[in-house]
Amino acid sequence: MHIFTTIKVNFITLIMGMAGALVIGYAIGYFLRKMFTEYQVKEAEERGKKIVLEADKEVENRLKSAEIEAREKSLVVKAEFEKETKDRQENVRNLENNLERKERDFRTEGQKFQAKEKELAEKNTKVAEKEVGIEQQKSHYKSLVEEELKKLEVIGSYTADKAREEVKNKILDEAKMDAAREVKKIEADIKKRADDQARQLITMAVQRLASDHVAESTVSVVELPSDDIKGRIIGREGRNIRALEQATGIDLIIDDTPGAVVLSGFDPIRREVARRALEQLTLDGRIHPGRIEDVVGKCKKEVTRQIEEAGEQAVINVGIDNINPEIVKLLGRLKYRTSYTQNVLEHVQEVAFVCGAIAGELGLNVALAKRAGLLHDIGKAIDHQTDGTHTQLGVDIAKRYNEHPFVVNSIAAHHEDCEAESPYAVLVAAGDTISASRPGARREMLETYIKRMSKLEEIGDSFKGVQKTFAIQAGREVRIIVMPNGTDDQHASILARDVAKRIEKEVIYPGEIKVTVVRETRFTEFAR
């Protein structure tokens, strides 16, 4: 009994132990599973965070790539828009230039039409006056006839037929006298008209010849590598072309002519400087106001050097020595001077050769004859800058540099302004005529244009505060550069009006002249 009780107790204890072990095992398993689950959840969360970070980075990279691509596309679109805008602006400017040119042509034609209309009205008025005069003469003659008939009827010895015959003869005599006076008047009028028509025909012929000459002697053409460079020459809002015109004093004409820019100006040295500067700028590609000033300054030095070389070469070609260097420079300036389309430097060399040849035949001093021939037109080198004839200016230059008295007299007498004091003066006059009359040497041209432009520049320079004056567009415009520190905007406006009033008083010109005053202030700093 005791044994069974013990076995029962041990069995119960075993069962309870097994049950406790199960509970404990279940608890341990539960806690282990819970811990494993929490670990897996934590690992999954970390993995999810990592995936989210990688996704964010990828999204960010894609956004950056899209932003860069969009920026590149916007730059391309902007460049295309700017190019299109630039092309449209250039086209607009070209259209404006064409419209201005057409407007000027219409204005000129309108003026001509008005002049013709006025002339026709004057002729109609004269015809009407003549008709009135004829009617008055008829009534006068009629009254005279009646008076004579009455007088003759009073005289008893006269019959009515005799009276009529007497009156008829008297009227015929008066008519013959009137006819003679009219014939004489008509002859004088015909001669005057013939002279006027002859002058008109000659002027028309000269004009037709001079038009080609003016184009070739006052215009230079610069070839461009492409038409795209025209926009760069003009610059934004026309800054580059204004800088070129101000620096050179030459008018730039940019029109529809393909691959070319026209330089217009009467001063050949300035035009040559502008041509060289524009060629260098187009080849270099860097075109802006600062660069333009530098290139124009260099080109001026180059032209000055070439002027000196041309003068030295002319002296060498003629074969004279012991000549003042300043005279050599003045001779070089004649390379860019023409007279009736004849290059003056070539002309004076021809005269020197002719004078030397004739002097050799006559047994005179050949070197002195050549010297006189070479220097006879030296005054034309400065006649644009100084008042006076080129003969008087040449005499002053020759005296200043102690030239031989025969040379001085040859310069003064080659246009018969004074008496020839030596055979050399006669030789120079003959050589000048021979060179000028050589077939193909000269064509008629209007030198008054050049004198007028010099006068315009002198008028502008005479005013206080003016830095430099340029006469451009064949004298149709005067551009005045004033010193900005000493002139305000109000004074600039008054200056333009004063210059215009003085030009009206002192210069004879057709049409109108535009006066433009330019006042510019520049500030320069250097970043170091």
Q: What is the CATH number of the domain that holds 285?
A: 3.30.1370.10
Q: Within this chain, do residues 501 and 485 fall inside the same structural domain, yes or no?
A: yes
249: in domain: yes
pLDDT of residue 229: 74
Task: Answer with the one of 199, 218, 237 that is the final residue of a domain.
Answer: 218
Residue count of the chain, please give it.
Answer: 528
**Domain interval for residue 364:** 331-443
**Beta bridge partners of residue 470, listed in sequence order:** 479
Number of domains the chain is built from: 4
Percent of the chain with pLDDT over 70: 77
Q: Say whether pLDDT at 152 is over 70.
A: no
493: in domain: yes
* Gap between the Cα atoms of 352 and 346, Å rounded: 10
Q: Are 266 and 474 in contact (CB under 8 A)?
A: yes
Task: List the end-to-end C-alpha distance of the chain, in Å, as a whole number.
Answer: 120
Residues 6+ apart with CB under 8 A from 315: 321, 323, 328, 331, 374
Task: Answer with the one of 287, 304, 321 that is the final residue of a domain.
Answer: 304
Both tokens of residue 371? 């010297």
Average pLDDT over residues 91-99: 83
Q: What are the start-end ranges of the E strands in 40-156?
A: none
319: in domain: no
Q: Are 368 and 423 in contact (CB under 8 A)?
A: no
Report in angstroms the alpha-carbon separations of 436 from 209, 217, 339, 433, 444. 17, 18, 10, 5, 11
264: in domain: yes
Is the pTM of the predicted complex or chain greater than 0.95? no
φ/ψ bin of 388: left (φ > 0), alpha (ψ from -120 to 50), beta (otherwise):
left
pLDDT of residue 496: 87
326: in domain: no
Find the range with the poorest average confidence among 38-52, 217-231, 294-308. 217-231
Percent of the chain with pLDDT over 90: 1
DSSP helix/strand/coil, 220: strand
Name the residue among 312, 323, 377, 316 with its Cα closest to residue 351.
377
* Gap between the Cα atoms of 503 and 513, Å rounded: 9
Both tokens of residue 37? 């689950």
Task: Answer with the one of 443, 461, 482 that is the final residue of a domain.
Answer: 443
312: in domain: no
Each residue of 432-470: pLDDT tens digit? Answer: 887 776 555 444 344 556 777 888 889 988 888 888 899
Q: Within this chain, do residues 344 and 399 fall inside the same structural domain, yes or no?
A: yes
Neighbours of 274 (CB within 10 A): 27
* Gap between the Cα atoms of 152 and 61, Å rounded: 134
pLDDT of residue 443: 43
Each residue of 235-247: pLDDT tens digit? Answer: 777 888 888 888 8
Which residue is it, tokens 């009994």?
A: 1
Provide the angle, in degrees to the nearest 10, between the axes of the packed helices 289-318 and 239-248: 30
pLDDT of residue 269: 79
Both tokens of residue 477? 């415009």
Q: Within this chain, do residues 126 and 196 fall inside the same structural domain, yes or no?
A: yes
Q: Within this chain, do residues 412 and 341 fall inside the same structural domain, yes or no?
A: yes
Report in angstroms the alpha-carbon separations of 88 from 97, 225, 230, 374. 14, 21, 13, 55
Q: Within this chain, do residues 214 and 113 fall inside the same structural domain, yes or no?
A: yes
Instruction: Give the strands of the sheet with 514-519, arranged side by side.
Output: 466-472, 477-482, 514-519
Both tokens of residue 500? 């215009």
435: in domain: yes
Q: Rounded to 5 degrees, what are φ and ψ at 468? A: -160, 145
Both tokens of residue 498? 């004063």
Each residue of 163-175: pLDDT tens digit? Answer: 667 666 766 666 6
